[in-house]
Structure 1
Amino acid sequence: MTATTPTQIQQILLRYKQAVQALPLTQQAYAVILKAIRELYLAPGEAFLEREITAMLEMSRTPVHEALIRLEMAGWIKVIPRKGFTVEPILADPIREISQITAVLDGLAAALATEQAQHNDLSELSGLIDRQETLMYAHDLHEYVAVDQEFHTKIVQIAANQRLSSLMDSYSDQMYRARLYTIKERQLPTHSIQEHRAVIAAMRAGSGKAADELMQAHRHHGSREIIAILKQSQE
């Protein structure tokens, strides 16, 4: 990914801030910084001064400092006392552990969604796959990954299980960041499009078991590629 300049980072942060301005200040700061980390604008391994982020966000120190503490507790950054913070790197072993969990949860979501899905839900999912295919061939891979996330999130929403959704929320951002970080090193993901279509075909046929198995296989396939790239980059 091309390096982002401080001016560009500020523009991105302020744009994200506008989207969450109804939240209390600490929650605003948390959501904006997390979004920038998730989207790799605050890059893995990079160090930032607290006052730099405070200035970029055009906020006072207290909500930003509190947000950074929360982000450290959630495993996104490492705070350096009286200085700033470093963004946690994306490492193969944690991603492997997370992917083992999320593959099972995604499979369960697909099975539950099969029972709940209406015609318009399946049409929306198919439309997202079509968008992914267009973005893939246009080599807009950042947006491709965003739509991929939207596809999987939609299936979790259709499943209508709040506890499952909460569990997925704990891990999905970490996996999204890893996918985005490695996407340009992977082969053009034509197989992923085919696997998405296979999951939807199983859901249309009313086979929750097949949807579960196909989804888990899809997630394991993608995770193996991501982990291999991360391992290679750490050697």
Structure 2
Amino acid sequence: MKCLFMFKYKTLRDLVYDYIGQQLRAGVINPTSTIKETALSEELSISRTPVREALIQLAGEGLLESVPHKGFYIRTLTETEAQELFVVIGHLEGLAARLSLGNIQEQDIAAMKMHIGMMNAAIMADDVEMYLEVQDKFHNIYLNKCANRTLSETLERLKNRLFRHHYQAMSKDERKKFLLGLNDEHTRICELFAMRDSTAIERYLVDVHWNPAEAVYEVLG
């Protein structure tokens, strides 16, 4: 039987890379602050080598900028770059969803519904970090079943370039409305998986969930 889940041993550098990427996407790291190698290694209680390697990798992928003798800064996206990312991510995630459909079981649909409920709870509690964590788990249910590691890793790398600082800039009511709208989209994605409609899932991810018109929210001021 073909293994549907793609396991990969992660080095310490990989774990640091994932951690920094999560912090960036959740808006925990201020876009104007310096990311210092020494401070990060102390925070994580590890040596500087894997931290340095992870920061260099993130800089190489365009997430960070390295300034000699100062440290690393978040590389801001232009509106055009953000729109281009949305187009690419939408098509790749649509492809991943279509590839995964034959591997999605009823328990996966149930897990999606559970995560939608958890996201709603996080929204009502105004817990953005928890919302983003559960959102990743929701999407990973089908991304992990597309049986294409290259596709999954490419999507992860591209998504790491998207940040969520605009959530913090919104008022509580604006943030609640915005995130509830996104979670309505998650509900629709789940419904389409339950209907086993691969074409509709793919088009919805491309045209709605990753609509380039929404990319303006990814541009940092």
- Shorter-chain TM-score tier: 0.7 to 0.9
Q: 1:202 to 1:94 in 2, by over 3 A?
A: same
Larger deviation: 201-210 or 61-70?
61-70
Are the equivalent residues in 2 in contact too, given 1:182–1:226 (CA < 8 A)?
A: no
1:50-129 to 2 correspondence within 5 Å? Answer: 50-129=37-116
Whole-Å Cα distance in 2 between the matches of residues 213 and 166 of structure 1? 21
Q: Which residue of 1 aligns with 2:147?
A: 160
Q: What amino acid does structure 2 have at the position aligned with 1:220?
A: W
Aligned pair partner of 1:225 in 199, 209, 214: 214
* SS across alignment from 1:159: coil
How many aligned residue pairs are there?
207
Q: Which residue of 2 aligns with 1:15?
A: none
* SS across alignment from 1:158: coil
Q: What amino acid does structure 1 have at the position aligned with 2:166?
A: T
Aligned pair partner of 1:201 in 178, 182, 191: 191
Deviation at 1:225, TM superposition (A): 3.1
CA RMSD of aligned residues (A): 2.8
Q: 1:82 to 1:99 in 2, by over 3 A?
A: same
* SS across alignment from 2:65: strand
Are the equivalent residues in 1 in contact too, given 2:62–2:161 (CA < 8 A)?
A: no
Q: What amino acid does structure 1 have at the position aligned with 2:185?
A: E
Larger deviation: 105-114 or 49-58?
49-58
Q: 1:201 to 1:37 in 2, by over 3 A?
A: closer
Aligned pair partner of 1:181 in 155, 162, 165: 165
Deviation at 1:69, TM superposition (A): 2.5
* SS across alignment from 1:86: strand
Whole-Å Cα distance in 1 between the matches of residues 44 and 136 of structure 2? 26
Q: Which residue of 1 aligns with 2:182?
A: 192
Q: What amino acid does structure 2 have at the position aligned with 1:201?
A: E
Over the matched positions of the two proteins, sequence identity in percent amounts to 23
Larger deviation: 209-218 or 81-90?
81-90
TM-score when scaled to structure 1?
A: 0.73
* SS across alignment from 1:79: strand
Are the equivalent residues in 2 in contact too, given 1:129–1:196 (CA < 8 A)?
A: yes
* SS across alignment from 2:69: coil
Whole-Å Cα distance in 2 between the matches of residues 197 and 34 of structure 1? 26
Q: Which residue of 2 aligns with 1:133?
A: 120
Whole-Å Cα distance in 1 between the matches of residues 19 and 183 of structure 2? 30
Question: Gapped runs of 5+ residues in structure 1?
Answer: 1-21
Looking at both structures, which has the greater relative contact order when contacts are Cα pairs under 8 Å and sequence separation is at least 6? 2
> Are residues 1:171 and 2:178 paired?
no
Whole-Å Cα distance in 2 between the matches of residues 106 and 208 of structure 1? 12
* SS across alignment from 1:174: coil
Deviation at 1:43, TM superposition (A): 2.1
Are the equivalent residues in 2 in contact too, given 1:115–1:208 (CA < 8 A)?
A: no
Q: 1:134 to 1:145 in 2, by over 3 A?
A: same
TM-score when scaled to structure 2?
A: 0.77
Q: What amino acid does structure 1 have at the position aligned with 2:179?
A: P
Q: 1:219 to 1:68 in 2, by over 3 A?
A: same
